Each structure stands twice: as C-alpha cells, then as structure tokens.
Amino acid sequence: MNRIKDNLYFQLIRRILTIYVLYTLCRLVFYWYNYDMYSSRTIEQLLIMFIGGIRFDTTAILYTNLLYILMFLFPFKFRYNHTYQTVGKYLYFITNGVTFAANCMDTVYFPFTMRRTTFGVFKEFTHGENLGAIFAKALVDNWYIAMFLMFIIVMMVWIYGRPLKKEAILICNQFVYYSLCTVWLALGIGIIIIGLRGGVRHSLRPITLSNAGQYKPNRLTYRWC
C-alpha cells in the first residue's frame, strides 16, 4: 500500500481529484448561499445541473492545472528533484487558490449579476473602480464565505501530501521505465485534450458557455454525452 501511495502518478491523480472535491464543495456553498433562486428545482433537476457543473469543472481544472500536470507527466527522473517538486507544489497552491477565491467571490456577486463570472467582469471595472477593493469588501461583509475560502485552502494544502523521492521508483530497467512513462504521457495528453474540449463529440471544440444550455432545469430531456 505504501508503494502505491508513493507512486507519482497515483499522487498526481489524487491531487487533481482533490480539486474536483473542493470544487464540488464550492458548488454546494454556492447553492446554499443562493438557495432562494433554486428552491423550486426538483432533486432530479439539481442533479442534472451538478453533473453539468462537473463537466465544466473538468475543463476549468485542466486549464488551470495544465502546466502542473505536464510537469509530472514528462518522463524524466528530475521530477523527483526536491526543488522541482517544491515549484510544482506552489504552482498548484497558487493557481487553484486563485480559482477558489474567484468561486467564492462569484457566489456573493451572482445575485447581482445573475450570471457566473467570466473575464468579462474585469472589463466592467476598467473605469476607475478598484476591483480588488470591491471584492475584498464583499468578502469582509460576507465573512463566512471568507472563512469557507480559508477552509478550502487549508484542506488543499493538508491533503497535498509530502514530496516524493527517487526511492519510490520501482522499475530499475531504464528502457522499461522510460517506455512506460512515455505511454503514460501519451495517455495523459489524450485525456487532457478530451477534457479541454468538453467531450469527444466533434461539435464540442472547445466547450463554451453555450453548452451549459443543455443542463437548464426547464429542459424536458437530457442527453448524456
């Protein structure tokens, strides 16, 4: 069991799945904070919306963690270097910490904008308003959301785990090692491309906000894809 825990690919998958879980917690808090807007939805409708959210989470997580994932997919043993892993760790913390903060701010501002925040929100504050000060005040006024953000970040750091060492490499044969790592790299790139596109269908290149329409609660049917 310890050998599995020390496996680089196992840890990479575990850390990405951690972000999925924390994104789901953010979505639950978003639902709780904006409950009045969704109180009329049935359980089935909410489940469909949550499934759609996970699909968009996949694209968001892959975009924000693309460099981190590639850092540990490239088939080189310097991946076990302590400095290299430290750089990757802080890259993971910073990029995901920013996205969690954006999720929490979005939770507060959604009742006013009636849409999820995109990069377009920054254009709305380009005429002298201090966007950082506005967001900071919103988090102070909604201190429990700020506390939740701190909890999410602490959980992310705590779950991340310790650095891996070269001793964790179980394959001594260099040819076999690099061959298998190259296969994992190719497989990982394939999964990343599918995730960034939002699926394997030709029409989903890449996934956009327009694809969210199929998860609207007032649709009578839902197509799995």
Asked if the structure places residue 225 within a domain, the reply is no
- How many domains is the chain built from? 1
Residue at 139 is within a domain? yes
* pLDDT over threshold 60, residue 74: yes
Q: Mapping DSSP to helix (H, G, I), strand (E, B) and coil, where does residue 91 land?
A: helix
Q: 170 in a domain, yes or no? A: yes
Its domain, for residue 112, covers: 2-215
Helix 8-33 and helix 43-64: axis angle, to 10°? 130
The answer to whether residue 220 scores a pLDDT higher than 50 is: no
Whole-structure pTM value: 0.79
How confident is residue 151, by pLDDT bands cut at 50, 70 and 90?
A: very high
Domain assignment of residue 223, yes or no: no
For residue 11, give the H/E element and its range.
helix 8-33
The answer, yes or no, to whether residue 70 has pLDDT greater than 90, is yes
Domain presence at residue 45: yes
Domain membership of residue 224 (yes or no) is no
Kindly tell me if the per-residue pLDDT of 22 is higher than 50: yes
Does 83 have pLDDT greater than 70?
Answer: yes
pLDDT of the residue at 121: 52
* 222 within domain boundaries: no
Better pLDDT: 179 or 17: 17
Res. 15 pLDDT band, cuts 50 70 90: very high
Note whether 71 and 94 are within 8 A (CB).
no
Query: Does residue 13 carry a pLDDT above 90?
Result: yes
Cα–Cα nearest to 135, from 19, 114, 24, 145: 145
Place of tokens 């308003």: 129
- Using the predicted structure, report yes or no on whether residue 49 has a pLDDT greater than 70: yes
In whole angstroms, give the CA distance from residue 157 to residue 6. Answer: 18
Indicate whether 122 pLDDT > 70: no
More confident residue, 162 or 133: 162
- Mean of pLDDT over the chain: 78
In this prediction, residues 60-78 reach a mean pLDDT of 91
- Contact of 65 with 96, CB cutoff 8 Å: yes
Asked if the structure places residue 135 within a domain, the reply is: yes
Which of these ranges, 96-110, 121-135, 147-161, 187-201, has the smallest mean pLDDT? 121-135
Does residue 225 register a pLDDT over 80?
Answer: no
Q: What average pLDDT score do residues 93-115 get?
A: 81
